Structure 1
């Protein structure tokens, strides 16, 4: 069900009643959003009460909302201007800790909205808070950590940092008398809370020096998981202060943003299931003991944050759309009591397997949501052949403007690429007919495309995908041109120097040795990048490889297309470094070459994630925008002077041809008149001669 919350300008507490409906098949129980849609107001934080029946949420303007599942009531709290974190107090269950931008932490009674105390001491905004002992609270900002007594709201200890150092994480280790801190250089230290002596250090080399993104503990404090930016988990035993194992997550999980153990009944605090939020906005549930992903939660929009209910009942997801969605964890993590018989456990496993199979079938049949499509692609590496056309139509958001398409067909005035059959001879006459029709329609949409000589190579593979669907094919090409071919035509008929320069900068950042090799042999991006772009990779990949690549290109952001150009060079570097002649490089990028697609995609994702902001294509490209329903866009990203010059030249040629035709006609007429006069003169002469003879007789 949906729960619309309204901002109360007066700050009054008005509790509203709602009826909680049974969850959906995917476990969605509740969607919380603002009653008046506003892209500027978005939920950014959520927190569960320790008893699990109350959820608090805060938006980016400092508005707070409480949802009580037991009483089925929800209400808003007075606005606090800002919120940097949200956490229910472990000392007083009816209080909520809210961080402010100025570094203060408010203690708020969540029923009445009254501010009952303030923790003042931080110089920068507080990022989080953890609890330990009877009334201890540890708050962390970027440059300091402070231990408080919530009984008196006073400081107990302040962690002072050396100059030019910063904190990533500082937490109380559960069920212990220890505090753990992770610094900006990824060094982790543990110290005793009694005398604050350092008792243990974990060096970044343990997790291959990957940047630490998240740290999680089991409820009993015996196991610690360190998650780096890349998909690697490092598991430590805190009982013996030793490394247990390093886990490389499946390849479809490219990055990790946050990890947290799922609290389950009857596990004695030895939590086995770890919730992992990937950089793609999906939550994976990983069984630490079985070393396997058991399930995954995908939503319509990417998940930016999540909170787990302490009793293992719910997970609250903050979506990139600004909404909050509440899911039942039982759909993803089975909770079985220790005294249940084995038959019950077997039944639950069978039920889980059936549910997974049903889930996959439902995802493929519906083909509606981008995150579901990403999950399918991540699982299988490519989309199913039988559903690819439908999936691409969904990804490209094709409007199916039949009326507008018919108008284009009925107004074709220029036959584009008249020498098409000679340049690109195809045995399949139907494909040739479809290619001609598409090119004519593109030229009617914009006459500029009649002079883009590589357009037939670029569009031809898409015709085979959208076979017998001319409207979808035309709209797909228009969408791809408007999005993935940004800035392609600005310097036509020259190659797009700005795009090629961008690709060269990315290659310099990720493989300077290869770029140096190119420079030594005077190989420019016009040779190693432009052939891939102008052919959409169709000349260097097999049909199945091309389909797999474009499954990914259309699924992810527009800059994926440009990153894969660099990735293709890097993956093929062992061959390219052996070349010395320019013609070898040219030949290589215009012909099919064996390539490991799995590695190509992996390197592409790495480039997509790790390229610096200054060099990243997304800084120069606009986000994807589909065609509007009811009309096709006016395409203007091309040099008008080129088209005008071309049209002027064609006009001159036509005028010259017309002049020649007229001259020939006039000459023919002149010759005819001259011949006619000559014939008349001859006839007259004959008559004169004839008359004279008669007279003589």
Structure 2
């Protein structure tokens, strides 16, 4: 986001030239005309925001080395009669200055109490201060004002930068010391115990977020927290995370969260650092892990393009405890965003209609103006909701808004969206073009977040039940203990289609990267070969130069060798004759060797032929012996069969003789006994001990 204008750096007096201001505390008056800044030096720098010029630099009285916090109380503190500025120094004492005369009026707290933070209530009745011991101190503003008006203690005048202190007579120094001592004692006993709840005591100091701390957070009384919020407008910054965990009833499911984290980085957020660059690498890794855990928990969160912008403010606040970050986001998505995905990938038309109905009821003229310029809820409500007001509010304003949002039912978030629009009624009525509205909804002017919150509470009480957001969203439903609930309130077929398309694109991208890597490898190889060729050409050039040098040297040697060529020719002829003789002898030796090789090859062939003849005779003899064995075996089988056949014939002949004998006896019995044939046959069978089947044989 670009800045609106640039404030020039302040000049430093000679005594502080060795160090830079390094501002750490800022405050702006209610009318927005003056901004005061302080840092690690005891100087206050004041800028005029209308002319964008440095007004002056004031050096604080003794005892102040650093400025930790600046407070501009509302005019309701003193009826708007003067401008007070509270300066919290490194010693834990809150000093009050008059902005007209730059004089020290009084101080709150002491070195023993050591205030670390202080905040004023919106109505200007109370001042809440948090000490370094963890206790909360409540001061009545009326007592502080009465002390300022009635104090007879001479004020210590702050000096302008570059000027000497007003001289203090020596006899007055002891009076000033005694007065300062009385004032410190009065401030030490001034704080009251009107409200010092145990819920704001610091949690136990452990190395990590333990179950005991979470258990203690769940025991906080929400009614008391809401009472504190309404009294002071926001929760103490030191205990804000602790209070949010209590309001949302985070379960602390370590095992379930670990199972989600073990799945690693989701493919949808693998290149998150390119799409959503963050200066802090550690914060970028925490954001990537949180988004991956949400995507593993429910597939819809891998397809939601605005999810990184929605999640980032919460991740930045709880980056030191990723379990709390995930459970806070899961609670927010299942309660405040439960109906956001009914029309995915389009915005939630039902929730936008609720915002539009609230706007029509509470500010119909503004709605008519938006409609007349074709500005729908997609333009004026959805950007605020999808970015959870992070683009339109500063960090302190955003935290204050979410203090109230988490303390109320989920429908209060929609009322805040409508309230932010109605609070900017006059500004929006002056917008007439699409660019004006676009600029407002993404980069709006300075907003009074207190007015926005009060308007949201008024809408909560006056909105009719039929259009009230609580009718659609209901009340808070915390996460279940042990395992996280299933989140499937979205059109699954669209998400599945998007998942398939994303996987397809991922594969195509991998193929493209692979091909690109191959092309880069080929390019590197080509460059390497080109470098090698250049080196080779350089080497050849050097060789040519060396050859030229040698040629010159040889030309000189040729003249010396000319005289020796005659002698060398004679010697050469002799050498040729000797060489021819040696060649003839070598040729004869070679032919003789070839002859011996051929004779050895013929002998080797003869030996092989003999071996094969002997082998064939051996195989023939073995075959004949095997044939004789088979003939003997057949003869043995033939004799055995003949014996079996003779035995079988003898058995058949004996059986036939027995049958004939039996048939003769049966005939004689039939003739002798006539009707007693059956009994005679039985006696005959018993006498002969024949089987039952013999009767059938007899009949046959």
TM-score range, shorter chain: 0.3 to 0.5
TM-score when normalising by structure 1: 0.43
TM-score when normalising by structure 2: 0.43
Structure with greater proportional strand content = 1
Higher Cα Rg: structure 1 or 2? 2
